[in-house]
Amino acid sequence: MDPFAVKAIQLLLSLSLLIVLHEFGHYIPAKIFKTRVEKFFLFFDVKFALFKKKIGDTVYGIGWLPLGGYVKISGMIDESMDKEQMSQPPQPWEFRSKPAWQRLIIMLGGVTVNLVLGFLIFMMILFVWGTSYVGPEQMPEGFAVVDEFKEYGFEDGDRILEVNKTGFQNSLDINRHLFMRDVTSITVLHQDGSEETISIPEEIGAKMWEEGIMQPFVPIQSPVLDTVVADRAAALAGLQKGDSIISLNSREIGYWHEVSPITKGNPNKEIEVVYERDGEIQGSMITPDEEGLIGVAAVRGFDFEKREYGFAESISEGFEYGYWTLHDYVAQFEYVFTKKGASQLGGFGAIGGLFPDTWNWAGFWHTTAFISIILAFMNILPIPALDGGHVVFLLYEMVTGRTPNDKFMEVAQLVGFVIIFALVLYANGNDIYKWLFE
């Protein structure tokens, strides 16, 4: 099956599952507190629905617009903007008639379900599939280090032993930890056999972002091609899987990490590539795109080790994994508000790109857990029309004893919708632009 179709199916299945469970997070406490739920929909039913059926007081259905889902709770100012209902006297079964603490629980239900679900899926993944990691023993050639980090004392060929004087299981996580976590020191094993603990400057993540050094440590690998993406620069120049790059623009290439500086230094410019195929030396001209990429990946120069978990251990480790997943996402969220971050904001295309190219249950569930945690965080943001906006107004009511009037809530809801709609258009517009021009 086409990789795009595989990703699209996984995205639709994942979002459908997460949306339904999120809405059940609102639905269940609403029912517990005897609040009427008028509609329960997967996707939005603007003008019409693909399917709907009324059971009791609730209409269950599937809309045609796959931008989310919703439950319509009686007596609540929400996306339905039902002003007629709100103009009537409050009824005992309505949301607005319930105590503030009950309304707060109803509003927090969706976020709570997404958060708990993400943690539970990570626990399940560890129990069923375990984890794969690359330790210092699995990469004897170590890392190639960018020049900016060599100033701190790192050297090409270094292997990571400890971070903050604690054992570091997966060496491939080092860049992510530097960018999003509080790394104060890294202990390395140099190629000459000596060990050194190197202090890391404060705000190293901000420095990496500002200077565009997102991969200061790159595994040393041979320049043999493992993947050549169709219709990209390398494929158009005739390169194939298994080719070994010998030189670029007459500069000898000994290792894979020496390729990127040359291609990225010549965006949209022809460069000469000499390579070996089946013992024969060949040459061609290749034109990197505007980001200096040519659409290739090297043969992996290291092996993965697998770690398995028992039931009890998978619970504790899964919880820790979920915690750090949420922590890392929140830590990098501040960069979204920079010019560079805004240009990288992605929509459904970017989310779909997180899924594997081929059907892989471990990959599917891992991405689903990640998206579930993202949805929990995004929904709790204090933006009107999101759960977090409703929570803010409820907390205000509980602290002050005053309820915001309906007119204010209607305006706030409308403003929230405009903000969210604009963000959705912008993010998906970025996806379309990248698809067309990059």
pLDDT on residue 225: 94
Is the distance from CB of 191 to CB of 155 less than 8 angstroms?
Answer: yes
Helix H, strand E, coil C: the string for the chain is CCHHHHHHHHHHHHHHHHHHHHHHHHHHHHHHCCCCEEEEEEEEEEEEEEEEEEECCEEEEEEEEEEEEEEEECCCCCCCCCHHHHCCCCCCCCHHHCCHHHHHHHHHHHHHHHHHHHHHHHHHHHHHHCEEECCHHHCCCCEEECHHHHCCCCCCCEEEEEECCEECCCHHHHHHHHHHCCCCEEEEECCCCCEEEEECCCCHHHHHHHHCCCCCEEECCCCEEEEECCCCHHHHCCCCCCCEEEEECCEECCCHHHHHHHHHCCCCCCEEEEEEECCEEEEEEECCCCCCCCCEEECCCCCCEEECCCHHHHHHHHHHHHHHHHHHHHHHHHHHHCHHHHHCCCCHHHHHCCCCCCCCHHHHHHHHHHHHHHHHHHHCCCCCCCHHHHHHHHHHHHHHCCCCCHHHHHHHHHHHHHHHHHHHHHHHHHHHHHHHHC
pLDDT on residue 436: 67
Estimate to the nearest angstrom the gap between the alpha carbon of 98 and the chain centroid.
37
CA gyration radius, the chain = 26
CA dihedral 379, 385, 391, 393 (to 10 degrees): 160
**pTM for the complete prediction?**
0.86
pLDDT in tens, the chain (438 residues): 777 889 999 999 999 999 999 999 999 999 999 999 999 999 988 888 999 999 999 999 999 988 788 999 998 876 655 566 666 778 899 998 999 999 999 999 999 999 999 999 999 999 999 999 999 999 999 999 999 999 999 999 999 999 999 999 999 999 999 999 999 999 999 999 999 999 999 999 999 999 989 999 999 999 999 989 888 899 999 999 999 999 999 999 999 989 988 998 999 999 999 999 999 999 999 999 888 889 999 988 888 999 999 999 999 999 999 999 999 999 988 888 777 777 777 788 888 888 988 889 999 999 999 999 999 999 999 998 889 999 999 999 999 988 888 788 888 888 888 888 888 888 878 777 777 665
pLDDT on residue 204: 95
pLDDT on residue 81: 55
Distance CA 270, CA 421 (A): 41
pLDDT on residue 79: 60
Neighbours of 87 (CB within 10 A): 8
- Which amino acid belongs to residue 130? G
Is the distance from CB of 114 to CB of 25 less than 8 angstroms?
Answer: yes
Is the distance from CB of 20 to CB of 69 less than 8 angstroms?
Answer: yes
